[in-house]
Chain A
Amino acid sequence: MKHFFEVDGVDYQFALSRCQRGYRLRLSNKVIAPVAFFQQGEGRGVLTIAGESEPVRFAIDGEVIHVHIRGRTRILHYRDPLRTLACANHEADHLLARAPMPGLVVATSVSPGQPVSAGTALMTIESMKLETTIRSPRDGVIDRIHFNEGESFERGAVLVTLVEEGR
C-alpha cells in the first residue's frame, strides 16, 4: 500500500522500494532513485535525492514531521491509512449516543442546543454497581435528551441525539 502525506494542504501518495543504492521513490507517475538517508545524531542527517546529497534537520512529533532542507522548513503530516480511510464514510448512527447496558440516569451534563465535541461527557448512568459516563460519539450539537434523571432504560436505548453542526 502507498503511504499518504499531506504537505501545505496538498495530499501526496508515494511508495518506497529497495534498489541498489538505497530506495526507489514512486511519486504519482514519477520515479526518483536512488533515495537514501543517513542519520548524523539527534534530528540531523544527510538526505540523498536522485543521487544528490543535502543536509537536513528534522523533528518528529507523533505523525507530524518538521523538515528543514535547502533553507526552507516544511511540515509533513503522515496520514495513517487505518484512520484516513476509516473516516471516509461518516455514519449517521454516530449522531446517537446509545446505552451500553441497561440502567438509570444519574446526571445529565449537557442541554439541547449546546455544541459538543467528540468525547464530551453527556450523561452519567448507573448499572450493575458501576457509574458510567456516556460520551459524545462525534462533534455536533445536542438535539434531544431522551431520559430524565432517575429514569431507567434498556440496553441499546438512544440516550442523546446530536445534529451535525451548522444545520
Chain B
Amino acid sequence: MQRISSAADIRSHEFRLNELHNRRLAAELKERQRVVRFNRPERDLERLRRQNKLFVRDRIEALLDPDTPFLELSTLAANKAYDGEVPGAAQVVGIGIVAGREVIVHADDASVKGGAWYPLSVKKIVRALDIAIENRLPVVHLCDCAGGFLPLQAEFFADRYYAGRIFRNQSILSKMGVPQVAIAMGHCTAGGAYVPALSDYNIIVEGTGAIFLGGPPVVKAATGETVSVEELGGAHMHTSVSGTSDYFASSEMHAIAIARDIVARFNRPTKSSMDRVSPEPPAYDASELYGIIPRDPRVQFDMREIIARLVDGSRFHEYQPRYGESLVCGFARLYGYQIGVIANNGVLFSDSALKGAHFIQLCDKHRTPLLFLQNITGFMVGREYERRGITKDGAKLIMAVSGASVPKFTVVCNGSYGAGTFAMAGRAFDPRFMFTWPQSQISAMGAEQAAGVLTHVKARQLTREGGRLSEQELAAIREPILEEYRERSSAYYATSEIWDDGILDPVDTRNALAIVLSASLNTPIEAPHYGVFRM
C-alpha cells in the first residue's frame, strides 16, 4: 500500500495560524472536560464525605485495571442544558478494562443533584446500554441515584426511548447472554431500584446502599407506616431476607473488589475474525492535524491529509481515485485492522454518491468495517444535477449506508449539513460510535443560508400585510436568528444533546477509534443484505 505523501507546508504562516487556533480549541475542550469531571461545590463534596461515599471518579478508578485506557463517552452531555448545572448529565459512561475484559462502565454521579436522573441523564444511560447491546459489552453499573428529577418527568418518563428503555435494554442484554454487575452504593429509589434488580449480579454496600421502590417518606405518605432506610431496603435485609441483592459488601472498596472478582469470571468473547497485521504508527505526526484543519470552517481541505495522520504507516489504497473525486474512498489499516475509509473532499455529486454506494457494498461483502470522515456541505443542487438524478443517486448512497452490516464509525471533522449528514452515516444511521471535532457544525442548512431564508419569509409576510422593512429592521430580525442558529449547530450543542458519543481532540482520534473498533468486533458481523436500490 502506498504512503500518502502530504502536501501540507508545516512551516507556512497559514499552517501556524491554523495551529494556534486549533490548539486553543483543544485546550478549551480539555478545560471544559476538566471542569465537568472535577469541579463541584464544596458542600456537595463535603456531603459525600459525611455519608462515607467516594467521588464517582475515584470509584471508577478503583474499578478499572490500572494503566489501561478508559474511553469516556459523552463527557459534555447536558453542557448547554439546565443552565449548565448538571455536568455530564450527572452520569459517567465509558469503555474500560476490568479484570482484562472490555466493559461499559455506567456510574451515577451523586455529587450532582444527588445523582437525580434528568432527561439527558436518561438519554445518556439508554445510549450506554445501546452500545452494550450493539457491541455485546458487559456492563458494570455503579448505582447512586435518588430517582428521576420530577419537575421534568414528562421529558424522561413515558416515551419509547425514555426511562423504561433503560430497564428494557438491561433485560435484552441479559437475554443475549451479556452479563451485568451492579453495585448499590447509595439509595436506588423508584426506577433506579430496577438497575441492580435487573443486573445478573448485584452487590449492596452496608450502611450507604439501599434499594426500594418507595423510600421512607413515600411509604409514610402512602400508608402511614414508619420505617427506617436500613429496615426498608438496606444491605442486611436484601442479602438475607428478600434476595434482591446477591452480595453484601462492608464498604465501597469491598464492593468494587467483589465486582472485579465477578467480571474476572466472565467468558472472554470470541472476536469476529478479521484480517489483522502488526500495528504501525502513522508516518506523519498527529499533532500536525492542528495546522491542517483550517481555522475558517468554510475553507476546504484535503481529507487525505487527515487520513495520513490517522492510519497505520499513513498508507492508503485509494479506490477509484479518478471518479467521483469529491468522495475519497479507500482501504487502510488502523492498529492493524483493515478498514474502509469514506471521506468528503467537497460536495456530493451523482458520481461521488454512486462510488460511495459501490464502495460500501465492496467493504460489506469483505467484512471490512467502515470509517466515515465527514466534512460535507450537502448534495449539489441545480437543474442539471436534478436531471441527472442527484436525488436518486443520493438515495442509493443512503440505502447502502443504512443496509451495511459491517460496523460503521463516524467522525465529524468539520461540517455536517443537510442530506450529506445522512449519506455520511450520521447519528440516525446507527454508526456504532460517532465522534465530533471541536470546530464542527451540524445543521440542516448553513447558518447564513438559513438566516437568509427565514428573514426572506418574514419580509414577505409583512409585504403581504402592506408593510416594508428597512435594512436595520431586516438586520434586527436576521442577527438573533443567526446567533441562535450558530449556537445550536455547534459541536458543544450536538454533544450536549448526545447526538454524538463525545467531542474528541483531533490528536486523540486514532486511539479512540482503535478502542471502539476492538469493542465492535465482539458482535458477529451479519451477511450483507440490502433494500432496493433505485437505479
Q: Which positions in A face B, CB cutoff 8 Å?
A: 62, 80, 82-83, 100-102, 119, 127-133, 135, 155
Q: Which residues of A contact B349 (CB under 8 A)?
A: 101, 155
Q: Which residues of B contact A128 (CB under 8 A)?
A: 346-347, 377-378, 380-381
User: Can you list 25 A-B contacts with CB-CB less than 8 angstroms, sorted by A residue number?
Assistant: A82-B2, A100-B325, A100-B326, A100-B345, A100-B346, A101-B326, A101-B346, A101-B349, A102-B380, A128-B346, A128-B347, A128-B378, A128-B381, A129-B377, A129-B415, A129-B417, A129-B446, A130-B346, A130-B347, A130-B377, A131-B296, A131-B299, A131-B300, A133-B300, A135-B7
The proximity string for B residues 1-40 relative to A, scoring 1 for CB distances below 8 Å and 0 otherwise, is 0110001000000000000000000000000000000000
Which chain B residues in 322-363 approach chain A with CB under 8 Å?
Answer: 325-326, 345-347, 349
B283 to chain A, nearest CB (A): 8
Q: Which residues of A contact B325 (CB under 8 A)?
A: 100
Q: How large is the interface on B (under 10, 10 to 19, 20 to 34, 35 or more residues)?
A: 20 to 34
The verdict on B467 contacting chain A, using a C-beta distance below 8 Å, is: no
18 more A-B residue pairs beyond the given contacts A101-B380, A128-B346, A130-B377, with a C-beta to C-beta distance below 8 A: A100-B325, A100-B346, A101-B347, A101-B349, A102-B382, A127-B347, A128-B380, A128-B381, A129-B377, A129-B415, A129-B417, A129-B446, A129-B448, A130-B347, A130-B415, A131-B298, A132-B300, A132-B346
Asked if residues A83 and B2 are in contact (CB atoms below 8 Å), the reply is yes
Chain B at the A interface: SS class: loop
The verdict on B270 contacting chain A, using a C-beta distance below 8 Å, is: no
**Which of A100, A130, A132 lies at the interface centre, i.e. has the most chain B CB atoms within 10 A of its CB?**
A130
Asked if residues A129 and B346 are in contact (CB atoms below 8 Å), the reply is no
7 nearest A-B pairs in the assembled complex, by CB-CB distance: A132-B300, A128-B347, A119-B7, A129-B377, A82-B2, A131-B299, A128-B377
Q: Which residues of A contact B278 (CB under 8 A)?
A: none
Asked if residues B446 and A80 are in contact (CB atoms below 8 Å), the reply is no
The proximity string for B residues 366-408 relative to A, scoring 1 for CB distances below 8 Å and 0 otherwise, is 0000000000011011100000000000000000000000000
B325 to chain A, nearest CB (A): 6
A93 to chain B, nearest CB (A): 10
Q: Cα distance A119–B12 when bound, in Å?
A: 14
A145 to chain B, nearest CB (A): 20
Please give me the residue from chain A that is nearest to B414 by CB atom.
Answer: A130
Q: Which residues of A contact B283 (CB under 8 A)?
A: 62
The verdict on B273 contacting chain A, using a C-beta distance below 8 Å, is: no
Asked if residues A130 and B300 are in contact (CB atoms below 8 Å), the reply is yes
Q: Cα distance A13–B348 when bound, in Å?
A: 43
Q: Cα distance A83–B5 when bound, in Å?
A: 11
The verdict on B226 contacting chain A, using a C-beta distance below 8 Å, is: no
Please give me the residue from chain B that is nearest to A119 by CB atom.
Answer: B7
Q: Which residues of B contact A62 (CB under 8 A)?
A: 3, 283
Q: Which residues of A contact B345 (CB under 8 A)?
A: 100
Q: Cα distance A153–B89 when bound, in Å?
A: 50
Q: Which residues of A contact B2 (CB under 8 A)?
A: 80, 82-83
The proximity string for B residues 508-531 relative to A, scoring 1 for CB distances below 8 Å and 0 otherwise, is 000000000000000000000000
Q: Which residues of A contact B381 (CB under 8 A)?
A: 128
B317 to chain A, nearest CB (A): 9
Q: Which residues of B contact A82 (CB under 8 A)?
A: 2
B296 to chain A, nearest CB (A): 8
The verdict on B470 contacting chain A, using a C-beta distance below 8 Å, is: no
Q: Cα distance A105–B415 when bound, in Å?
A: 22
Please give me the residue from chain A that is nearest to B283 by CB atom.
Answer: A62
Q: Cα distance A82–B3 when bound, in Å?
A: 10
The verdict on B449 contacting chain A, using a C-beta distance below 8 Å, is: yes
Q: Cα distance A166–B326 when bound, in Å?
A: 33
Q: Cα distance A128–B415 when bound, in Å?
A: 12
